[in-house]
Amino acid sequence: MTEMCDHDLSRRRFLTATGAAAAAAAGGLAACAGGGPQPAASAPPSSAPQPSAAALGTAQTGTTAPSAASDLTGPGLVPGGPAAAITHGPRDRPRVALTFHLGPHEAGQDLSLAHQLLADAAQLSVPITVFAVGQWLDDHRDLVPTILAAGNELANHTHTHPTLTALPADQVAAEIAGCRDVLARLAPTQGRYFRPSGTSTATPLILTEAGAAGYRTVVDFDVDPLDYTSPGADAVVARIRANTRPGSIVSMHFGYPGTVSAFPRIVANLRTAGLTPVRVHDLLI
C-alpha cells in the first residue's frame, strides 16, 4: 500500500484560528517535539460540477448507487454534489483525531494486533476512528462489536482497498458504495465518513463519486507518521509528536506492531501537550 504524505492541498472548510487554548496546546506539543515542522492550512474547496447521471447509476461490479436519501442507512448520508475534503479540524480547540486503517495491507492483518490496539484504546479512554476496508470487515464481522464497545467510530475505507486514483469512475463508485453497504448492514449507526485508499488526497473524481454515494465529507489527514513502512515505534512516536497540533487528523494502521506498541506513548504525549484525542465526528462538530 502506498500512502502519500502530501498535506498541503487545499480543500478544507475550517479556518485556522489562534485562540488561547490552541496556543497553549501547540506550545506544549512543540516543547515535547523540539520544534517540528507544522503543516499549513489552506483555503476552502472551490465549487465542483454535479455528478453525472452515470455516477448515480449501476457500476460494472453490480453495485447500484441509491437515488434517494431514504435508501441509505447511517448518519447524514445524502446523495448529491461533490463531497468536501478536509485534512484537519478547527485549530482553535485543543482536540486531535487518531484515525486507523483496518484491513489488508502488505503486512497482512494480525487480529491479535487489532485486539491489542482496541484494548489499549479502551483502557486509556481514547476513542478512535476506524476506517475499515469493507470486504475485510465483512469477513471479520465479529470484530465490529469490539470496535464499537468503547465508543469508537467506524468509517468507510473502500471495499477492497485499491489505489483509487488508478480506477475509472464506475469502479470508484463501486468501491465507495460497497463498503458503505457493508457498514450499513453491520453497524447501521456508523459510516458517516469516507477516506480513499491508495492516496492521501481525494481527487475531484473521488469527491464526485463520494458525494453521489451520500458522503458529504471525505477525510484526508495532516499528520502521517508513515507507520506502514515499519520504521519502528520510536519513529512513529517522534513523527506524531513533532507534527501534531490542535485540530490535527493523524493517519495510522492496525496491522503494524510498531504502531500498536507506540500507541500508549502517542496518547501520553498528546495529553502532556494539552491535546485531547477524540473521534473525527467530535473533532468536526
DSSP three-state, residue 57? coil
| Greater pLDDT, 12 or 79 | 79
Q: Is residue 38 part of a domain?
A: no
| Per-residue cell: 176 | 465507495
Q: Is residue 53 part of a domain?
A: no
Residues 6+ apart with CB under 8 A from 146: 115, 118
CATH of residue 154: 3.20.20.370
Name the residue with cell 463519486: 209
**8 A C-beta contact, residue 114 and residue 254:** yes
Q: Is residue 234 part of a domain?
A: yes
**Global confidence as pTM:** 0.76
pLDDT given at position 133: 96
Q: Please report which confidence band the pLDDT of residue 14 belongs to, taking 50, 70 and 90 as the band edges.
A: very low
For residue range 36-59, list pLDDT tens digits in order.
333 333 333 333 333 333 333 323
For residue range 189-231, list pLDDT tens digits in order.
999 999 999 998 999 999 999 999 999 999 999 999 999 999 9
C-alpha to C-alpha distance for 197 and 67, rounded to whole angstroms: 25
The domain containing residue 210 runs over which residues? Answer: 82-284
Q: Is residue 23 part of a domain?
A: no
Q: What are phi and psi of 227, to 5 degrees?
A: -65, -25
pLDDT given at position 73: 58
Q: Please state, for a pLDDT cut of 70, what percent of the chain lies above it.
A: 72
| Per-residue cell: 124 | 486509556
Q: Is residue 211 part of a domain?
A: yes
| Per-residue cell: 167 | 480506477
For residue range 103-130, list pLDDT tens digits in order.
986 556 788 999 999 999 999 999 999 9
C-alpha to C-alpha distance for 281 and 192, rounded to whole angstroms: 8
For residue range 156-181, list pLDDT tens digits in order.
999 999 999 999 999 999 999 999 99
Q: Is residue 263 part of a domain?
A: yes
Q: Is residue 60 part of a domain?
A: no
Domain count, the chain: 1
Query: In Å, what is the CA distance from 240 to each residue of 22, 98, 226, 265?
Result: 17, 10, 10, 10
Q: Is residue 9 part of a domain?
A: no
